[in-house]
């Protein structure tokens, strides 16, 4: 018997990492580039959870989805959606075998780190008008100063009338900003650490500098802003108490790099998984098991609240699907599986010390799979079973999905969580799968077009598997 050479043995036995571009065809790169044109349009159209739900409903109806009626009996191929308070949504395509053997769920989140307003936000100082804020999610505060911001949200008047606001996105719109001290006078600030140089109370938004033109009266700068808001929206200051107003970066999504291989935008985390999960269910015809795309709110603040996945809204929806087919909900839920579709950190050579190179996800490496997330010895995480990891591996490999596996960073460097643990609490097999991101949670994040496309391909393969 002839001994195999080291090269032959290595080919047979080892699993070297290879950049995705060496593994895919030109045709596939073309498909990836096309897919990202749609993704960029989504990024610009939907910057908040409410706008993402509006987008999802409008798009879903074009694909034949109808509002879910728990009393109705559905047949294979029927498409339904459940809109939870305009901030989270479940979409389902009824499978050939219904839900008796469980459902397949792709769950992503549509809230992003941002700057929210306090309930009494408006004030003036040194003859300028400002809004007080309370940031939402994990941000590095210094990154949110001296950039253009846009205002999004709703104001609900006392009689229940909902006024939608969006200022700073259309050409010609005014925008807003949080100011920073000039370097010439920054000596004191420069002595501070990054974490302490900016406090939450410093993040006040500049919104005007002209007073009501009247020598008499107080707070003329604040008053002038209220006058403008009243003319535009018919609101008074007290209406801001019952409002959800958010300031987000006013940037548009754009190609990054001479080769246009990357997309830069606000809020890839986690719209970069939400969009592929939506497209995957839109293009899913006649699945074997009933499939669900769930777009959840509140992930960035721990999935709390009735639109987050630590609430029961998804469980109730599946229970309704089960009961409509005469199935016991807890049996259906226990047999269900889930892809927790959320971003992971892409290896960044400038901060290599924070990663463990062999167990990191890379730009253009494809869809990133994380068996677990968490911190301090796998604390606070779902840890997908080896059996379920094997199943997902096979699903992706069989469908030619480019994928990689990695951890969020070095052991004990930090950590993070996703909705996976809350889905797992329902006795569902779940694994974290998502797109690697550079500059995660910054006002401007970066992803690879190839990886975004592979998210779509991966979620679709999971839905389509017979
Ligand atoms: Mn996320
Ligand atoms: Mn996040």
User: What is 379-421 written as a DSSP string?
Assistant: BT--B--HHHHHHHHHHHHHTT--EEE--SSSTTS--B--THH
Contacts of 451 (CB under 8 A, 6+ apart): 20, 363, 364, 365, 366, 367, 368, 402, 435, 436
Neighbouring-strand partners of residue 206: 130, 177
Write out the two tokens for 156. 């609900």
Which residue from 449, 460, 455 is spatially nearest to 29, judged by alpha carbons? 449
| Cα 241 to ligand 2 centre (Å) | 27
Residue in the block written with tokens 């989270």: 88
| Cα 169 to ligand 2 centre (Å) | 23
Write out the two tokens for 409. 């960073």
**Where do the structural domains in the chain lie, given as residue ranges?**
16-112+266-464, 114-249
Residue 415 has pLDDT above 90, yes or no: no
Cβ neighbourhood burial of 258 (10 Å; 0-12, 13-18, 19+)? exposed
| Cα 328 to ligand 1 centre (Å) | 32
Q: What percent of the chain has pLDDT over 90?
A: 95
394-413 pLDDT per residue, tens: 999 999 999 999 999 999 99
Write out the two tokens for 429. 């097999």
Strands 337-341 and 104-109: parallel
Q: What percent of the chain has pLDDT over 70?
A: 100
In words, the CATH class of domain 114-249 is mainly beta
| Cα 408 to ligand 2 centre (Å) | 12
Rg (CA), the chain: 24
| Cα 12 to ligand 2 centre (Å) | 38
Residue in the block written with tokens 């096979």: 394
| Cα 419 to ligand 1 centre (Å) | 9
Q: Which ligand is closest to the CA of 440, given by its number?
A: 2
Q: Which ligand is closest to the CA of 136, given by its number?
A: 2
Neighbouring-strand partners of residue 245: 153
294 confidence band (pLDDT: 50, 70, 90): very high
| Cα 332 to ligand 2 centre (Å) | 30
146-185 pLDDT per residue, tens: 999 999 999 999 999 999 999 999 999 999 999 999 999 9
Instruction: Name the H helices within 238-295.
Output: 268-282
Residue 227 to residue 239: CA distance in whole angstroms: 13
Cβ atoms of 74 and 84 within 8 Å: the answer is: no
| Cα 419 to ligand 2 centre (Å) | 11
| Cα 393 to ligand 1 centre (Å) | 22
| Cα 122 to ligand 1 centre (Å) | 31
| Cα 196 to ligand 1 centre (Å) | 25
In words, the CATH class of domain 16-112+266-464 is alpha beta
Which residue from 405, 389, 390, 432 is spatially nearest to 270, judged by alpha carbons? 432
| Cα 77 to ligand 2 centre (Å) | 33
| Cα 101 to ligand 1 centre (Å) | 29
Contacts of 275 (CB under 8 A, 6+ apart): 38, 39, 42, 43, 452
Q: Which ligand is closest to the CA of 343, given by its number?
A: 1
Q: How far is CA 284 from the centre of its chain?
A: 21
Helix axes 268-282, 26-45, angle to 10 degrees: 110
Cβ atoms of 23 and 128 within 8 Å: the answer is: no
Q: Please, what is the average pLDDT of the chain?
A: 96
Residue 346 has pLDDT above 90, yes or no: yes
| Cα 441 to ligand 2 centre (Å) | 6
Terminal CA-CA length for the chain: 42
Residue 211 has pLDDT above 90, yes or no: yes
| Cα 307 to ligand 2 centre (Å) | 16
Cβ atoms of 444 and 148 within 8 Å: the answer is: no
């Amino acid at each position: 018997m002839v001994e195999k050479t080291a090269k032959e043995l290595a080919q047979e036995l080892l699993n070297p990492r290879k950049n995705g571009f060496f593994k895919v065809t030109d045709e596939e790169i073309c498909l990836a580039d096309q897919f990202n044109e749609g993704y960029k349009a989504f990024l610009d159209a939907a910057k908040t959870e409410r706008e993402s739900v509006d987008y999802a409903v409008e798009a879903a109806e074009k694909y034949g989805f109808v509002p879910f009626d728990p009393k109705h009996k559905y047949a294979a191929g029927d498409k339904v959606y459940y809109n939870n308070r305009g901030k989270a949504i479940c979409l389902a395509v009824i499978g050939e075998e219904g839900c008796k053997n469980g459902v397949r769920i792709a769950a992503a989140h549509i809230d992003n780190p941002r700057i929210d307003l306090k309930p009494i936000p408006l004030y003036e100082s040194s003859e300028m008008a400002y809004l007080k804020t309370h940031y939402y999610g994990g941000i590095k505060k210094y990154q949110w100063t001296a950039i253009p911001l846009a205002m999004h949200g709703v104001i609900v008047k006392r009689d229940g009338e909902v006024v939608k606001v969006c200022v700073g996105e259309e050409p010609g719109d005014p925008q807003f900003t949080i100011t920073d001290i000039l370097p010439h006078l920054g000596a004191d600030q420069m002595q501070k650490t990054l974490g302490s140089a900016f406090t939450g109370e410093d993040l006040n938004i500049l919104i005007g500098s002209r007073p009501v033109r009247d020598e008499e009266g107080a707070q003329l700068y604040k008053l002038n802003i209220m006058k403008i808001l009243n003319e535009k929206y018919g609101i008074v200051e007290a209406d801001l108490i019952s409002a959800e107003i958010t300031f987000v970066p006013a940037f548009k999504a754009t190609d990054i790099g001479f080769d246009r291989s990357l997309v830069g935008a606000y809020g890839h985390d986690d719209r970069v998984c939400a969009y592929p999960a939506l497209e995957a269910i839109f293009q899913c015809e006649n699945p074997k098991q009933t499939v669900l795309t769930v777009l959840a709110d509140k992930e960035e603040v721990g999935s709390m609240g009735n639109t987050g996945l630590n609430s029961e809204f998804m469980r109730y929806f599946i229970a309704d699907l089960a009961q409509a087919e005469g199935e016991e909900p807890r049996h259906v839920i226990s047999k269900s599986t889930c892809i927790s579709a959320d971003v992971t950190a892409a290896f960044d050579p400038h901060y290599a010390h924070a990663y463990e190179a062999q167990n990191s996800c890379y730009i253009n490496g494809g869809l990133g799979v994380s068996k677990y997330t968490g911190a301090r010895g796998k604390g606070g995480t779902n840890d997908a079973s080896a059996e379920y990891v094997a199943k997902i591996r096979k699903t992706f490999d069989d469908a030619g999905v480019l994928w990689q596996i990695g951890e969020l960073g070095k052991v004990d460097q930090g950590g993070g969580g996703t909705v996976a643990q809350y889905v797992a609490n329902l006795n569902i097999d779940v694994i974290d799968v998502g797109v690697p991101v550079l500059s995660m949670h910054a006002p401007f994040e970066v992803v690879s077009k190839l990886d975004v496309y592979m998210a779509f391909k991966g979620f679709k393969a999971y839905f389509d598997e017979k």
